[in-house]
Amino acid sequence: MSSLSHLGRSARAINATLPRASVVRVATNVAPRRTLLTLATAARRQGAVLAQKTSAFNKTTSQTALRAFSTSLPSLDDAEEESEDPTKAERYADETDVVIVGGGPAGLSAAIKLKQLANADGRELRVVLVEKAGEIGAHTLSGAVLEPRALNELIPDWKEKGAPLNQPALEDHMKLFTKNYAIPLPHPPQMNNTGNYIVSLSNYVKWLGEQAEEAGVEVFPGFAASEILYNEDGSVKGIATNDVGLDKNFKPKDDFERGMEFHAKVTLFAEGCHGSLTKKLFRQFNLRDECDPQTYGIGIKEVWKIDPKKSKPGTVVHAMGWPIDNSTYGGAFIYHMGEDMLSLGLVVGLDYENPYLHPYKEFQRWKHHPYVKDLLEGGECLSYGARAINEGGLQSIPKLYFPGGALIGCTAGFLNLIKIKGTHTAMKSGMLAAESAYAAITSDKYEEDKPIVLEDFEQKVKDSWIWKELKEIRNCRPSFHTPLGNLGGVLYSGIDTILLKGRTPWTFHNTTPDHERLRVATNAQKIDYPKPDGVISFDLLTSVSRTGTNHAEDQPVHLRLKNKDIPVERNLKIYDGPEGRFCPAGVYEFVDDESAPAGTQRLQINSQNCIHCKTCDIKDPSQNIDWTVPEGGGGPQYVYT
């Protein structure tokens, strides 16, 4: 459990025993963010372990001691007196050496590496990591078969430290699904999983979070970074978290708290695929000017407890074919995790053309294939989730640095699509960024009034095994964009990966963004999906209930429409309303508009269902949906994923 969580309980205990005037007010029904950060910062500066400091506070009842401790931060009541509008009050700003946005594999690896370097040199280096999920790992979802290459470099004694890599991959199978058969196929050498581990990535990330805190990283879950801060010279100064306690009309409620600012010498963005702040950085610094458009997939996954007689721990199965048609990129996975647990899912390329395609329903239909159904019968579905993934590869990687910071992990796009793995490359990118940031901060040439530019970080990536991996398979994904469709892509990719190994003088390109590939509805064939049976396949809301998703209903909708008329006037008229189909969580639906003439519809946004997959922001053909962060701590609460 994070130090922030410990302090949260202590702060509420303190409020209960002390006069109100003696402490900064801590709301008990929201994350006491500003107060607790002040407590954590003070404890760090005094060289005390946070838990010990908390214990000391619980034993202290003197007004004097707490007044002395809280003088660095005015109470919210004082701020409200100074400004009639508390949303305009000055935000509390915290200074740090490095701030990292995102607590996934890349962000945590960067944080750990920074502290390892500083600790080895006996230097004081403050590293702060903010994560929008209520706890580290809660928003993390992947297949996943983990290649431990980067982990071996970062934490060589990970076995002794209890890393949750418990099930080695023992067998690999590749299959072509027809409607009724599973035909064995040879698989590319890159898909060989010898030495890898079948894991729950959410549990693995939780463990990385523990390692980060032990190394001295200040980890703050429940803090949603919503704004990039800039210096006067245009360089990145840090980030700000969003205000909490606003109602749906952006008006402050009784529990309102102003967001916080984190100012840093270096800001590393590790938001994951299609990050909400990363989008702004692309535009601000023209980071995508010299690369191809990114192309994406939507991965939909379930975790089952199956009949022990059917469990084959360590078995890895990848499949292609039915129910995906030849013009749509996609594939499936089945991983036997051990302890009779089965991880299975379907990935559909978001460059699909048919607006009637429904990725979630394709996945539910896929589970009724005889090969899959036989595994699931007699079992129980425990968990569900979905997320977008980067598929563009080498050609779609943007410029990685800008004045004041850098992009790491999936927010930049280092997924190795042929391996179907991105955790190891994400971790390595974070480690390389940490090395560059540490060298720049501790350099004799460092000047406080000049921004740090991590130009050498990009070169480090190009000199690393990340680049070698991605260069070797760079032509595989674009090869599916030919008149031969999946058949042509499979044939070319097989030749390229097995024989040529990427040693070709040509490079194919990703030419068209995913949102521009939808055909108009009049030129597309409707798809008749079978109804779920409630045993093997499930309706959407049942699946969403298995994500643990929760958002406070009375808060601003974090899925923002740039123009409220476009969903009906363009998307519904031209594409027959694809929003209700590409979302894997039932967020969007067209309903009768009771305020308009009969037969008129409107787009209803059920934002409380959102599982933070970002698919809507990617696939909306009008690019009218802007996915932004909700209040920190909201969203899915994934387990086993």
The pLDDT score that the predictor gives to residue 302 is 98
Averaged pLDDT for residues 249-255 = 93
pLDDT in tens, 561-573: 999 999 999 999 9
Percent above pLDDT 70 for the chain: 87
Report whether pLDDT(486) > 50: yes
Q: Are 269 and 106 spatial neighbours (Cβ–Cβ below 8 Å)? A: no
pLDDT in tens, 442-483: 999 999 999 999 999 999 999 999 999 999 999 999 999 999
pLDDT in tens, 508-518: 999 999 999 99
Averaged pLDDT for residues 225-246 = 97
Averaged pLDDT for residues 206-229 = 98
Residue that the structure tokens 């700003």 belong to? 93
Residue that the structure tokens 């090869």 belong to? 479
The pTM of this model reads: 0.89
The pLDDT score that the predictor gives to residue 64 is 27
The pLDDT score that the predictor gives to residue 188 is 84
Report whether pLDDT(307) > 50: yes
Which residues lie below 8 Å from residue 515, measured CB to CB, with a gap of 6+? 618, 619, 620, 621, 622, 623
Cα(483)–Cα(489) distance, integer angstroms? 10
Which residues lie below 8 Å from residue 528, measured CB to CB, with a gap of 6+? none
The pLDDT score that the predictor gives to residue 102 is 98
The pLDDT score that the predictor gives to residue 281 is 98
Alpha-carbon distances of 597 from 3, 563, 565, 577, 601, rounded to whole Å? 56, 21, 15, 19, 9
The pair of structure tokens assigned to 331 is: 């594939």
Residue that the structure tokens 């463990």 belong to? 207
pLDDT in tens, 357-408: 999 999 999 999 999 999 999 999 999 999 999 999 999 999 999 999 999 9
The pLDDT score that the predictor gives to residue 370 is 98
Q: Dihedral sign, CA of 301, 398, 205, 3?
A: negative
Cα(415)–Cα(424) distance, integer angstroms? 9
The pLDDT score that the predictor gives to residue 34 is 45
Q: Are 295 and 510 spatial neighbours (Cβ–Cβ below 8 Å)? A: yes
pLDDT in tens, 76-125: 344 444 457 888 899 999 999 999 999 999 999 999 999 999 999 999 99
Q: Are 255 and 30 spatial neighbours (Cβ–Cβ below 8 Å)? A: yes
The pLDDT score that the predictor gives to residue 503 is 93
Quickly state the pLDDT bin for 37 (edges 50, 70, 90).
low
Q: Dihedral sign, CA of 75, 81, 83, 86?
A: positive
Q: Are 632 and 242 spatial neighbours (Cβ–Cβ below 8 Å)? A: yes
Helix locations, 448-570, DSSP H: 455-462, 465-472, 485-495, 540-545, 566
Report whether pLDDT(26) > 90: no
Averaged pLDDT for residues 549-558 = 92
The pLDDT score that the predictor gives to residue 70 is 26
Known catalytic residues? 142, 387, 423, 583, 610, 613, 616
Averaged pLDDT for residues 181-200 = 94
Exposed, middle or buried: residue 45 (CB in 10 Å: 0-12, 13-18, 19+)?
Answer: exposed
Q: Are 92 and 260 spatial neighbours (Cβ–Cβ below 8 Å)? A: yes
The rounded radius of gyration (Å) of the Cα atoms in the chain is: 25
Quickly state the pLDDT bin for 409 (edges 50, 70, 90).
very high
Report whether pLDDT(439) > 70: yes
Report whether pLDDT(586) > 70: yes
